A and B are shown apart, each in its own frame.
Chain A
Amino acid sequence: GAVVSQHPSRVICKSGTSVKIECRSLDFQATTMFWYRQFPKKSLMLMATSNEGSKATYEQGVEKDKFLINHASLTLSTLTVTSAHPEDSSFYICSASAPGQRSYNEQFFGPGTRLTVL
């Protein structure tokens, strides 16, 4: 149980285009979803936290107009990288959590999406 999927797993796009990444919780309802960015050989950097039906809370230094997050249902969140540039190339990972089994609300991670902007 507790499976999180991401689509696409890999995307290559031209500079200036927008890219949408989907994150789905397949077998549970995720009240909260998180979006992370990871550079090669670096740790995960939290970009934003989104609760279903609410606006996302962005971390300091993350441009909310650049990285649009929508959490429209309890099983789906999307991250749209608008007007992507080469510096946006990275590995984007989502995670999802729900209240319940563990007291600390475990986050279940998706497999990641590798974005390359040419």
Chain B
Amino acid sequence: QKEVEQDPGPLSVPEGAIVSLNCTYSNSAFQYFMWYRQYSRKGPELLMYTYSSGNKEDGRFTAQVDKSSKYISLFIRDSQPSDSATYLCAMKRQGAQKLVFGQGTRLTINP
């Protein structure tokens, strides 16, 4: 079993839709949870980061962490064509340097 599981998609939705992206994980020691966005042939860029459980909102993006279920989500409201990219979840343990990534979900927002 992989430490972090993420549905690779692809996911295609119309512009303006609410997008829900999810990851599950098996290691209860993970404390830091990140979402990265990666455009084609580019490096990942950090979108959201959450420590432990709870919600975090930044503009159109909301990150949720449910540690009891070992489940994290990223919601994108009012999705735009420019949001089309691969979204990767990542997580790490307290004190660890290493990030563990999900497989990434390819998202396309259709105008």
**Which A residues are within 8 Å of any B CB, using their own CB?**
4, 6, 32, 34, 41-44, 46, 49, 91, 93, 95, 97, 102-112, 114
Contact = CB atoms under 8 A, between A and B. Distances in A.
B88 A49 contact: no
Contacts of A114: 41
Interface stretch (B60-68, B71-79, B100-108): B100-108
Contact of B51 (A46, A104, A107): A104
Interface residues of B, number: 22
Given A49-B97, A106-B49, A109-B45, A44 B106 contact: no
Contacts of A44: 44, 88, 101
Contact of B41 (A6, A102, A112): A112
Contacts of B32: 104
